Amino acid sequence: MITIKNLHASIEGKPILKGLNLTVNAGEVHAIMGPNGAGKSTLASILAGREEYEITAGEIDFDGEDLLDLSVEERAREGLFLAFQYPVEIPGVSNVNFLRTAINEIREHKGEKAMSAKEFMALVRDKSALVELDSKLASRSVNEGFSGGEKKRNEIFQMAMLNPKLAILDETDSGLDIDALRIVANGVNQLKTDQNATIIITHYQRLLDYIIPDFVHVLYDGRIVKTAGKELALELEEKGYDWIKENKVN
Amino acid sequence: MANYTEDELAEELKNQEYKFGFVSDIDTDTIPIGLNEDIVRLISSKKEEPEWLLDYRLNALELWSTMNEPSWAHVKYKKPDFQAIAYYSAPKQTKKYESWDDVDPEMKATMTKLGISMEEQQRLTGVAVDFVMDSVSVATSFKEKLGELGIIFCSFSEAVQNHPELVKKYMGTVIPTQDNYYAALNAAVFTDGSFCYIPKGVRCPMELSTYFRINAGGTGQFERTLVIADEGSYVSYLEGCTAPQRDENQLHAAVVELIALENAEIKYSTVQNWYPGDKNGLGGIFNFVTKRGICEKNAKISWTQVETGSAVTWKYPSCILKGDNSVGEFYSVAVTNNYQQADTGTKMIHLGKNTTSTIISKGISAGKSQNSYRGLVQIHKNAHNARNFSQCDSLLMSSECGAHTFPYIECKNSSAKIEHEATTSKIGEDQLFYCKQRGISEEKAIGLIVNGYCKEVLNQLPMEFAVEAQKLLTISLEGSVG
C-alpha cells in the first residue's frame, strides 16, 4: 500500500524526519507512537502533502505511484485520507455539500458518474449511524460549533463516506472521553477490510485498547527506532518513552 | 441549494475570460455625442415626452452643470469626459413588436448568450422580464397576467406615456434631482428603465425582473427605475446586469427609487456583473448608482445586492424609514478582483418611531483591488426606540488588496439601540488544505468557502438568482488566492 524509504524532511531548515522507513500493506493497522516532538504529526502532514515541509531525501511509493509527485487533492482522490488532529471549521458550508463535492471530485477523477442525491443521502444515513453522529450535524456547517468529540467523530464520518485506501488518524484520540473514544474506535474497526489500511498516530496507548494494531512503531527523533506487535504499546504505557530514549542511547 | 452547481462551475471556470464580452451587431440609432440643452431636448422629443418631463430634464441639466463630481469615495479613476459620450442609443426598429416572433433574431441571440431567452424564462421560471437593450425596452412578458391584478410593469417610457399621473407624482420624490452629481445627470439624460406599480393590497405573484445591458460602443447608459408598492402590497423585484467587453470605460449612472406605502413591502435584489476591466485594470464599467427607498408606516424595504463587476463601483442603496415601525434591510456581497474598486454600503435614515434597520455587508477583496464599506446610520430626534444592527465583514484573498470600513453613526435620540460588528479575515490556508485533503480542487474549495462566507446574504436572494450569484462569486475569484 505505502512504502516510505529513508525519508528526510525539514521545516524552515530544521530537520524533523531523519531517515524514516515504514511499509504498510493492505489489510493492516499500524500504530505510530512516540514522545512529543518526535515527528509524528510531521509524518502525517507530509503524507497528506502540506507544503511547508521540505523533503530533503527519500521516497514514498503509494500503490505504485510516487506520492511526492502528487498534489494534495490528487493524493486524496487516489485514496489517502487524513483525519485531522485539529479539524478545520468552514462557516456557511454544510457538511453534506462539502462531502458531496468531495465525493464527486473523487468519482470524476476515477472516471465515474456523479453520485445521485438519493444515493448520497442514503450513504449519509448509513455512515452517520456508524459513528453515532446526529444526522443534524450532517446538515450543519463543517465543524462549526461542534464540540471536540463531535469534530473527531465527524472526521471518522468523512472517512466512512470517502472510503479511502489508506487512512491516517492523527491524534484522533486526543481530547476524547471514553465514550467518544469507543465510538470512534468502533467506526474505524467497522471500516477495516483486507483492501484498506490504517495508520494510527497517537501519544497514548488507550485508543489501542479499542483498535488492535498489527504493528506498533516507536518514532523517536525522526526515525522509527522500534517495531513490534500490539504488546509494545502496553510496554510503552508502563515504562514511558524514557525507556526508548535510554535504549537508543545504549 | 445544498447541491447546486459544482459541475457547471467546472465548465465555466475553464473559460476565464469575461463570459459576456461580446458585441451584438445591431444597427443602432445614436445621437451625436456631447451634452447640452439641445441634446436633452432631442432625447425628450425622440421619446415623445410631455412638456413637464422636458422641463424636469432641463432643470436637472442646469443643476448638474453647477455641481461637482463627488471625490469623497475611496476610489481613483480618470474622470469621464461628459462631452465625449453619446447620451442616447436605441436599436433601429421603428415598429413595435406584435409578438415574440417579430423580434430581431440577432437580438434574440444576444439574449440567449446572456442565458435569459424569453421562452425559457416564461416557461421555466415564471419570471416576467422587461429586457432593456441600449436604453429601449424591446420585450415585456406576462403583462396580461399582471394586468389582471392591476399591476403595472413596463418600461419607464411607456409609463410616461400611459401612466403619467403616477410618474409625475412619485418621480424624484425619494431622490431629488439635486441629490448628487450623478443623480442630476441621470435626471437630465435618462433614456429608459423600468416602472412598476403594485396596487393596494396586492401581492405580486411572481418575481419581477429586468436585465440591463450596455451594448453600443461609447454610449453611456442612464437607467431610471421607479417601483411603487401601494398600501398593503408586496413585490419582489430582481435586477441583473451584464455588459460586453470594451477597452474604453463606460459610464453607468442609474437611479432607482422605491416607494413603500403603508404596510407595503418591497424586496429589491441585484446581481451586478458589469464588465470589470481586464486583469491589468484596462477598461471596465464605471458604476455610479443612486438607489434609495422610502418606507411609510409599517412598511419594509429590503435591498440585497451581489456586486462582482464594474471597474469602479459607487453605490449606496438606502432606506428612509419615515413611517413608524418601518423596517429597512441591506444585505450585500461585494467582490473586487484585479484592479477593481468598490465603495459601497448603505444609509439607514431613521425618522419614525420604532424603526428597525439591519445591515449585513460582506466584502471580498482579491488581486490588487480596493473594497470599501461605507455606511451611515442616522437616528433623528423623533425616532424613539429605533434599532440598528450592522455587521461588516471583510475577507482578503491576497496580500496586495485592500479592505476598508467607514461606518458613520449619527444619533440624536437616546432611546436608540445601535450595534455594530466588524471583522476582517484572510482566507484560511488551513481551510483550503482541509478541502484539498478531501479531494476538492482549489477553485472549488474557494467557491465553497466564499459562498459559505456570503451565505447570510445569498440566502436572501430568490432561488434562481442565488444560483447565478454563487457561480459569479466563484468565477470572479478564480485563481485569486495569493
Kindly state the DSSP code that residue B178 receives in the 8-state scheme. G
Q: In this complex, do B452 and A48 lie within 8 Å of one another by their Cβ atoms?
A: no
pLDDT score at B85: 78
**Range from B107-111, B137-141, B232-236, B245-249 carrying the lowest mean pLDDT:** B137-141
Which residues in chain A are contacts of B423 at CB distance < 8 A? none
Q: In this complex, do A98 and B435 lie within 8 Å of one another by their Cβ atoms?
A: yes
B 399-428: CB under 8 A from A? 428
pLDDT at B439 > cutoff 70: yes
pLDDT band of residue A198 (cuts 50, 70, 90) is: very high
Which among A89, A105, A158 is the nearest to B441, CB-wise? Answer: A105
The answer to whether residue A38 neighbours chain B at the CB level (below 8 Å) is: no
CB B221 within 8 A of CB B256: no
Which among B6, B431, B455 is the nearest to A88, CB-wise? Answer: B431
Average pLDDT, chain A: 91
Predicted confidence (pLDDT) per residue in B352-407, tens digit: 999 999 999 999 998 889 999 999 999 999 999 999 999 999 988 888 889 999 99
Contacts of B184 (CB under 8 A, 6+ apart): B60, B63, B64, B67, B177, B178
Q: In this complex, do A92 and B431 lie within 8 Å of one another by their Cβ atoms?
A: no
Angstroms from B413 CA to nearest CA on chain A: 36
Q: What is the mean pLDDT of residues A194-202?
A: 95
Q: In this complex, do B449 and A48 lie within 8 Å of one another by their Cβ atoms?
A: no
The answer to whether residue A97 neighbours chain B at the CB level (below 8 Å) is: yes
Residue B105 burial class via C-beta count within 10 angstroms: exposed 0-12, middle 13-18, buried 19 and up: exposed
pLDDT band of residue B34 (cuts 50, 70, 90) is: confident
For the entire predicted model, the pTM comes to 0.78
pLDDT score at B234: 97
Q: Whose grid coordinates read 403594485? A: B198
pLDDT score at B326: 97
Average pLDDT, chain B: 81
Predicted confidence (pLDDT) per residue in A141-174, tens digit: 999 989 888 899 999 999 999 999 999 999 998 8
Q: What is the mean pLDDT of residues A80-99?
A: 93
pLDDT score at B111: 52
Q: Characterise B239 by phi-psi region: left (phi > 0), alpha (psi -120 to 50), beta (else).
A: beta
Which residues in chain A are contacts of B441 at CB distance < 8 A? 73, 105
Cell numbers that stand for B444 in this block: 472549488
pLDDT score at B303: 96
Range with the largest mean pLDDT of A3-12, B151-160, B469-478: A3-12
The answer to whether residue B3 neighbours chain A at the CB level (below 8 Å) is: yes
pLDDT at A50 > cutoff 70: yes
pLDDT score at B11: 44
Query: What percentage of chain A reaches a pLDDT higher than 70?
Result: 98
pLDDT at B121 > cutoff 50: no
pLDDT score at A155: 94
pLDDT score at B124: 33
Q: Which residue would you say has higher pLDDT here, B478 or B271?
A: B271
Question: What is the ipTM for the molecules in this complex?
Answer: 0.95
CB B415 within 8 A of CB B380: no
Predicted confidence (pLDDT) per residue in B67-101, tens digit: 988 888 888 888 888 888 777 766 554 444 455 56
Query: What percentage of chain B reaches a pLDDT higher than 90?
Result: 42
- In DSSP notation, B218-259 reads TB-B-EEEEEEE-TT-EEEEEEEEE----SS-EEE--EEEEE
pLDDT at B241 > cutoff 80: no
Q: What residues does each domain of chain B span?
A: 6-476
Q: In what helix (H) or strand (E) does residue B449 lie, and over which residues does it extend?
A: helix B442-453
pLDDT at A204 > cutoff 90: no
**Range from A93-97, B103-107, B112-116, B380-384 carrying the lowest mean pLDDT:** B112-116
pLDDT score at B214: 44
Q: Which residue would you say has higher pLDDT here, B125 or B33?
A: B33
